[in-house]
Structure 1
Amino acid sequence: MTVTTRAVSTSVLAAVVAAAAYLGTDWLALVAAVLVLLLAAGWAPLLRLPAPGGTGVVVALSGVGGVAVAWATRGEPVLRYLPLVVAMGLVLAFVAEMLRRGGRPRLVESVSGTVSGVVVAVACAGWVAAGRTEAGAALVVTSAVGLAVASAVSALPVARGWAGSLVGVALGGAAAAGAATAVPAIDVVSGAVAGVVTGLVVAVLGLLFERQPALSSRWAVLAAVTTPVAVSGILVFVVGRLVVG
């Protein structure tokens, strides 16, 4: 899959997140869980880890657990149990390595890769938590719009390299600010900040994956397409806390 197709696919996923936020928290949690499963399916192939089965199971359980905890938690703080989910994910990563056979080659690489997958998957819970902030669905929608536009811009041939990535960040921020004018719960400045943050995620990960040879695998592509949306979840929640209030 080409860089352009991957960027467009990420943009589509961001649009799905925005639509789910509009429909309600339950739909947003469902979409976040699907993002986790897509990420888990391709994380090991993306990093070329030696035990894809164990890695996929650990990443999926941790991510879905984080989304479920964020969805089920009532009151503040919304993510108060998320550290426990991450801790259990770390334990599962080591258990998965203990269950490996054949001498456990590339042990350190396998553990570190699985743990990083756990962190990225659990970040999906941030979308659900952001939907429960004061700005609620408005924050999620504006952020997802910025993410979608930044991803779409990165699909253009002229948007390659750092200069093109910065253009995508700027346009993502502008799109999110424009979306903020259409919703009453978030101001233009806060929307622009959310759009810039998600645009930066797209830019950095796009440059990171641009030279990753494993992307010739369709499973690796799934993870590469999903990762910007997943990571943005927790960052959008932070923006909601620090900027929106």
Structure 2
Amino acid sequence: MQLATRAVVTAVLATVVAVAGYVGLYPLAAACAVLVLLVAVGWPPLANLPFGTGTSVVVALAGLGSVAVVTLEEEQPYLERLPVVFAAAVVLAFLAELVRRDGRVRLVESVSGTVAGALVAVAATGWIAVARGPEGEALVVTAALALAVGSVVVAIHLPVWMGVLATTASSAAAGAVAGLVLPDFDPVAGGLLGVAVGILVAALHALFDRMEALARWRPSLAVVVLPVTVTGLLVYVVGRVLVG
């Protein structure tokens, strides 16, 4: 999958998250569940893990479990039970190794890669926690818009540092514009949120862009979804700082 195609798909997924967050909690939770499943499909070949089936199952269970827990939590803090879900995912990662019948080659790499994939999937629940908090709708829409714009700009062929600056600036501008348009939301806060999202998008692009595995569709699928899922927890942390 070419860089331009990956950028467009990431932008589309970010737009879907924005629309779902605007519509309501349960559509947003459904969108996050889809993101989790996409990560579960693409993560094992992206990380070149030896037990793809087991890793996919663990990542899917961790992500879907976290989505359910955060969505159904009745009181703040909505992420209170998330460590329990992630701890269970770590245990499942070890249990998955027990069913292997290939001599358990690259055991440490397999376990650590599975746990990392579970963390990526669990991060998607940040979108849900943000949506349920103060000014949640505005934060979700602003961050998703900044992510979509930054994902498109990152596909432009520029020198590394110029590309980082362009991506960060465009995401910040998108966040500020969203802050101006959305009612009762500060454009300065939107711009700062956009800066954080832009830096993340640029960093992930630099990390994964030259991987040979991206010639195949499943690793490419994970790479296009990963910025959207990871941004979830980033938005939760930055959003709590900006709006309390």
TM-score, reference length from structure 2: 0.98
Q: Give the aligned residue type for 1:243.
A: L
What does residue 65 of structure 2 align with?
A: 65
Q: Residue 198 of structure 1 aligns with which residue?
A: 197
Matched with 1:144 is 144
Aligned twin of 1:6: 6
In the alignment, the residues of structure 1 paired with residue 207 and residue 15 of structure 2 have an alpha-carbon distance, to the nearest angstrom, of 23
CA distance in 1: counterparts of 2:152 and 2:96, whole angstroms: 37
State the aligned residue count: 244
Are the aligned partners of 1:135 and 1:240 in contact in 2 as well (CA < 8 Å)?
A: no
Q: Which residue of the partner structure matches residue 23 of structure 1? A: 23
What residue is the counterpart of 1:52 in the other structure? Answer: 52
User: Counterpart of 2:14 in 1: which secondary structure?
Assistant: helix
Q: For 1:119-198, what aligned pairs fall within 5 Å after superposition?
A: 119-158=119-158, 160-198=159-197
Q: C-alpha separation between the residues in 1 aligned to 2:2 and 2:199?
A: 21
Structure 1, unaligned runs of 5 or more: none
Partners of 1:172 and 1:96 in 2: CA distance: 40
SS of the residue 1:42 aligns to: helix
Q: Does the CA contact (< 8 Å) of 1:177 and 1:192 recur in 2?
A: yes
Q: Give the Å deviation of 1:111.
A: 0.6
Q: Percent identity?
A: 52
- Aligned-pair distance for 1:244? 1.0
Aligned-partner residue type, residue 189 of structure 1: V
Corresponding residue for 2:89? 89
- Whole-Å separation in 1 of the counterparts to 2:179 and 2:69: 28
Equivalent position amino acid for 2:30 in 1: L
Aligned position for 1:235: 234
CA contact (8 A) 1:133 1:240 kept: no
What are the superposed Cα offsets for residues 66-124 of structure 1, whole Å, 9 maximum, x if unpaired?
11111000111111000001100000000001111121011111111001001110000
Note the C-alpha offset of 1:196: 1.2
CA displacement at 1:180 relative to structure 2: 1.0
Equivalent residues of 1:130, 1:140 under 8 A apart: yes
Taking structure 1 as the reference length, the TM-score comes to 0.97
Q: Give the superposed CA RMSD.
A: 0.9
Deviations 1:158-211 (A, max 9, x none): 3x5232122111110111110111112421111112111111111011011111
2-structure distance, mates of 1:171, 1:181: 15
Q: In 2, distance between residues paired with 1:56 and 1:193?
A: 35
Tell me what 1:40 maps to.
Answer: 40
| Cα distance in 1 between the residues matched to 2:164 and 2:20 | 27
Q: Which amino acid aligns with 2:100?
A: R
Q: Which runs of 5+ in 2 are unaligned?
A: none
Shift >3 Å, 4+ stretches: none
CA contact (8 A) 1:69 1:82 kept: yes
Rounded to whole Å, the distance in 1 between the matches of 2:157 and 2:8 is: 13
SS of the equivalent of 1:181 reads: helix
Give the whole-Å Cα distance in 2 for the aligned partners of 1:82 and 1:114.
17
Matched residue SS, 1:6: helix
**1:4 Cα deviation from its structure 2 partner:** 1.4
